[in-house]
Amino acid sequence: MPTITIDNQTVEVEQGTTILNAAARLGIEIPTLCYREGVKPQTACMVCVVKVMGRKGLLPSCATIAEDGMVVESETDEVRQARRMALELMLGDHVGDCIGPCQTTCPANMDIPGMIRLIGEGRLAEAVALVKERIPFPAVLGRICPELCERACRRGRLDAPVSIKLLKRFVGDFDIWAKQRHLPVCRPATGKSVAVVGAGPAGLAAAYYLRIAGHSCTVYDDRERPGGMLRYGVPESELPHWVLDAEIEPLVRMGIEFRAGVRVGEAVSLEELRARYDACVIAVGDVGEWVEGFAGVPVEGKALAADRGTHQSPLPDVFVAGAALSPSRYAVRAVAGGRSVAQAVHLFLQGEQPAGAGRPYSVHIRTMDADELEQFATDTPRHARVRIPTGQPGGYTEVQARMEAARCLHCECAELDTCRLRQLGLAYHAGPTRYHGERRRFERDMSHPLLVHEPGKCIACGLCVQIAADSGEELGLSFVGRGFTVRVAVPFGRPLSDGLREAARACAEACPTAALTLREHFPHSSLPEPQTPAPRFRRRRRMLRRPFGRRRSSG
């Protein structure tokens, strides 16, 4: 039996074993896209290439047979660069969105499509939990958000964008009036403590996510009540104080301590806070007159000096967030900054290099023409944007929210979490836009009873062609065209349902890029049943907990 060496590890394998399988014996994972156990190697993607000593160039490990004495390297700079280039070429020709335009545009990177899907299915408690992974105050931002996400909504090119802001408000209000409010699960106590200076949106968000990470938090603010500009800069007609109080209430229940009426630099110095806590977060909004209170943190223009990626100031245990770091008039940007600084501080407290929250990895379809957009909107209800009738108090009813949710085109990938192309693109830092030629046209074939076919995502790996042939399909699939125009299709121009009768599910499960997707995995837009009543949230008067001052009615 041949014995080979891979990355300085030696293994004896049976005759006919490939380098890929030999590496697996050693626990070495070589990336693949066009390989699947039990299917003839396709050698199409060239992502599994390795360097074999004494051989010219790089070889596909999925089809190269191990020979006695062979020495293989699977992780050299040359190998990684070749894999990255192969991935970038495929990504540059990929006609699909990983993340929807709305989520990409949202400063907080909230999973908007996920929220909308859960609303449409009536799973409102789950929608609350999902939204609060990125935005702790949906009822607040659902009233004052600048609707950046709606400007990017692809539905807007058909008729009108989805009312994302009102749907977010609907989710936030649902939580406020729920019998059992959402409280995030906090990790076990780390024994670390953080002082947050400023109780505006950035400081509150920072405290929220640091507490979830298991750290104790104390929020200092010179005002009588928390909220910052949300309370003292936004007219109460736009943002009622009872809504703000209701959204802050869970932070107190999580164990976050608030110190009101305490001005850092007067009642307590930054140096005292640094001595008392393991880290400090400065989130005071517009720095202005606060500057003198933060000795040791220089000012650059209208902000405090700190790294915009890590949030870390020249004082290693002091971090800066929100408008104090990057001036902005949008509360949603401040909330995003609060979450990002919380991640950086958490890493710092664990003894790791601080890093803020980055943007998600995504490929994007460029601008669609009218015909492409019509295909994209196939099977989506075409009713008009749901507006709140004149005289109706509050936001959407549940039925109205579900009707509006049904308008979403669900631009995001149905296989976002399992797409191998995206996973490897992330792993190899492949640039999605490095190689951009003329974009293939968007197509979506929904004629098959089990499958959704999007040819623009196909990398011509050949897995589905081989699986269909092995399954004995009468027509099956084949490669059509030449060179860069090659694509997979049913012979003789026949429909997909004629080509894949027995092997449809196996082909979809093998597809590495979601070009073939099972309908059961594809986002569906469904309307509520007509006879469903239109319940309102309970409008009973109740007393909210008032840990910040006198109690007041929630009405």
pLDDT in tens, 260-308: 999 998 899 999 999 999 999 999 988 776 666 687 788 888 889 999 9
Would you say residue 543 has pLDDT above 90? no
The domain made up of 101-181+365-405 has a fold known as Fumarate Reductase Iron-sulfur Protein; Chain B, domain 2 (1.10.1060)
pTM: 0.89
String of DSSP letters for 319-382: EE-GGGTS--S-HHHHHHHHHHHHHHHHHHHTTS------PPP--------HHHHHHHTTT---
Q: Which helix (H) or strand (E) holds 52?
A: strand 49-52
In whole angstroms, give the CA distance from residue 534 to residue 16: 66
Cβ-Cβ contacts under 8 Å for 279 (sequence gap 6 or more): 192, 194, 195, 317, 318, 319, 345, 348, 349
Same CATH fold, 101-181+365-405 and 3-75? no
CATH no. of 193-349 = 3.50.50.60
Would you say residue 548 has pLDDT above 90? no
Query: Strand order of the sheet with strand 216-221?
Result: 257-260, 216-221, 193-197, 279-282, 318-320
Q: Which tens digits make up the pLDDT trace of 129-160? A: 999 999 999 999 999 999 999 999 999 999 99
> Residue 528: pLDDT band by 50, 70, 90 thresholds?
low
The pLDDT value recorded for residue 526 is 57
Among the listed residues 439, 305, 451, 421, the one whose alpha carbon sits nearest the alpha carbon of residue 372: 439
> Residue 502: pLDDT band by 50, 70, 90 thresholds?
very high
Place of tokens 């280039």: 85
DSSP category for residue 303: E
The pLDDT value recorded for residue 527 is 60
Minimum mean pLDDT among 20-29, 88-97, 212-221, 357-366: which range?
A: 357-366
Q: Are 464 and 510 in contact (CB under 8 A)?
A: yes
Would you say residue 460 has pLDDT above 90? yes
Strands (E), 412-533: 451-453, 478-480, 487-489, 516-518
The pLDDT value recorded for residue 524 is 64
The pLDDT value recorded for residue 547 is 40
Cβ-Cβ contacts under 8 Å for 309 (sequence gap 6 or more): 355, 356
What are the residue ranges spanned by the domains of the chain? Answer: 3-75, 101-181+365-405, 193-349
Q: Are 420 and 347 in contact (CB under 8 A)?
A: no
In whole angstroms, give the CA distance from residue 187 to residue 209: 11
The domain made up of 3-75 has a fold known as Ubiquitin-like (UB roll) (3.10.20)
The pLDDT value recorded for residue 532 is 40
- Average pLDDT on 223-245 reads 95
**Residue environment code for 57-71, b if the CB has 16+ CB neighbours within 10 A, otherwise e:** ebbbbbebebeeebe
